[in-house]
Structure 1
C-alpha cells in the first residue's frame, strides 16, 4: 500500500490508474492515444479530458499539465516514457464502476500499440489526424485525413467560460482561425491554460498567432456588482462612449489584422457574448467597416 496522499483531482488519479493497467509504463504517444480512446468510447457522457488535433494525433494539454503535476509530487517520472515510480495498483484510487470499465478497456485495447494504435485512431477519428506530422507514414493516404481548409474571411468571437483549454483550442482549430486577439485588460486566469503567456504558448504550438490588445479591455473594478441586465447596459454604454471612442487607433489596427489574417477571433472570459464587451467591439467593426461577427 502506498503511503502517498492521493492526487487532488480524480482525473489525475485516473491517469495513474491508466498507467497501472498497462504495465506501469507507456510511451507518451501511446498514453495519449489510450486516454483519447477511453474518453471517447468509454466515458462519452462524462468526459474529463478533451483533445485537439496535434503533431501525432489527438492531444490533451490538460492531461500534459496533470502529468507534470504528478511528476512534481512524486508519482511518475517523465521522459519519452511515462512510468510509475512504485508498484502500487493505482486502480484502487478509482470508484468501483470505473475500475470495471477500465479493466474492460484494457482487455479491448491491450494488444494495440505503437503505429498500429496510431493508425487505428487516425482511421476511426480522421479529424484528429488533421495536424499530424506522420499521417503520410501511418496512413499512406492523406486523403483520409479531415481538414478544415476554409480560408474565407471571418471575424469570430468566443469566451472560455465553462470549457477547458482543450475544448477552447479545438474550437479555434475546427474553424481554421489564424489569430486569437485577446481583449481582456489583464490576461490572467485561475483556470488552467487561459493566462496570457500560457494561452499564447499553446496557440503557437498549433501555429496560431496570439495578439493582446489590453487597451480594449475593461478594468476589473468596473465589472464588480454586475447583477442585472441594467447593470450590464450601463457598463457597456460607458465602454462605448469612453473606451471605444478613445481607441480608434487600436480598432483600426484590429481591422487591419482582420484584413491581413482573414480569420481572427476576439476572445475574453464570458461564454455569452452579450454579457461581454467583445460584443461592443464587434458592433463597432460592423458599423465602421461592415464586418459581421460569428459568435462561437
Structure 2
C-alpha cells in the first residue's frame, strides 16, 4: 500500500474513524504543512485547499472496501472501520504532525476549521465560493493580495513529468494562465490527473479553460525508440517540416486564442522543452508575422 494512503487511514483513526469530506481535506492539508516532504499537494479550490490525489485515493480505497463513503442530504463522510493500527505504522515525524494538528483544530466546527485555514493560508482561499461568508473585510483583502493580476499577454509551455497534478495546476494559477492547450496526439497518461478528461475537469474546476489540439501532436509509435537527444532532434526536425507545415492553421488558431485569452499555455509530458515537440510549436509561433508575445517554459 502507498505510504500516503496510510496517512489517510491514520488521520481517520485519530478522529474515531469518521470525518466529513471537507474536514478530512482540511486536516490533511494542515498535517502536510508540517511535513518536510509532503504526502499530498493542494490547490485553491471551491472551498479552499483541496487535493485531487487524496480524493482519488479515498475513492479507490472505498472501491476496494477499506472505507465507506456515507452520503446523506446534509453530510458526506469518509468512514474507516478497521482493527489495524496505521498510526503506529507511520514515521515518528508524521505521527507528530498528526498529533500537532489534532491539538490545532481541537474543538473547531467544520466552518471554523475552514475559516482557520483561510486565515492562516490565504492563497488557498482565492477560488473559494464561501470566503465572503467566513472572513472579515480585512481578511478578504489578504486573500485578494494572493491573486496575481496580469495585464500583458504571455505564452507558456509546460510539461507534467515529475510533478503532481496539484503542483502543475499551481504553476498555471500563479502565472495567470487562462487557457491550457493540450498538444498531445493521444492525451492519455498512466499518471493520475493527466489523461484528457481528468485534466480538463481539474483545470475547469479552478477556473482555467482546457482545449485539446490533437493536430499538433506526434503519433505514439514515432516516439517508441527514442534514446538520445539526436533521436529526439531527428524526430522533431521531421515534425517541423511536416506536421507543423501541414497544420499552420492550428498555429494561427493558437495566435487567435492567445489574443482572446491573453495568457495561455501548451502542454505535453516531458519536463525539458528540448525533449518535447512543444518547443518546436513555440518556435514556429515566433515565426508568425503577427506574433509578438513573450514566451516562457514553466
User: What's the TM-score once normalised by structure 2's chain length?
Assistant: 0.91
> Could you give the per-residue CA deviations for residues 191-214 of structure 1, whole angstroms, max 9, x where no partner exists?
001001111111121222111111
Q: CA deviation at 1:96?
A: 4.7
Q: 2 CA distance for matches of 1:17 and 1:175?
A: 35
Q: 1 CA distance for matches of 2:128 and 2:282?
A: 34
Structure 1 stretches of 5 or more lacking a match?
1-7
Query: Which residue matches 1:4?
Result: none
Query: Which residue matches 1:74?
Result: 65
Q: Secondary structure at the match of 1:70?
A: helix
* Counterpart mapping for 1:148-227 below 5 A: 148-227=148-227
Query: Which residue matches 1:290?
Result: 292
Q: 2 CA distance for matches of 1:113 and 1:271?
A: 42
Return the match for 2:5 from 9, 12, 16. 12
Matched, 1:143 2:141: yes
Q: CA deviation at 1:47?
A: 0.9
> Could you give the per-residue CA deviations for residues 218-244 of structure 1, whole angstroms, max 9, x where no partner exists?
112222232222222211111111111
- Whether contact under 8 Å (1:74, 1:85) holds in the other structure is no
Q: 1 CA distance for matches of 2:183 and 2:149?
A: 26
- Whether contact under 8 Å (1:51, 1:60) holds in the other structure is yes
The size of the alignment, in residue pairs, is 287
Query: Which residue matches 1:47?
Result: 38
Q: Secondary structure at the match of 2:162?
A: coil
Q: Residue 117 and residue 265 in structure 1: after superposition, are their counterparts in 2 closer, same or farther (change >3 A)?
A: same
Q: Secondary structure at the match of 1:26?
A: strand
Matched, 1:134 2:127: no
- Whether contact under 8 Å (2:31, 2:97) holds in the other structure is no
Q: Secondary structure at the match of 1:46?
A: coil
Return the match for 2:31 from 34, 38, 55. 38
RMSD over aligned CA atoms reads 1.6
> Could you give the per-residue CA deviations for residues 232-268 of structure 1, whole angstroms, max 9, x where no partner exists?
2211111111111111111111111111111111000
Structure 2 stretches of 5 or more lacking a match?
none
Q: 1 CA distance for matches of 2:151 and 2:85?
A: 50
Q: CA deviation at 1:150?
A: 1.8
Q: Secondary structure at the match of 2:242?
A: helix
Q: 2 CA distance for matches of 1:215 and 1:97?
A: 49
Query: Which residue matches 1:24?
Result: 17
Q: Secondary structure at the match of 1:190?
A: coil
User: What's the TM-score once normalised by structure 1's chain length?
Assistant: 0.92
Q: Secondary structure at the match of 1:264?
A: strand
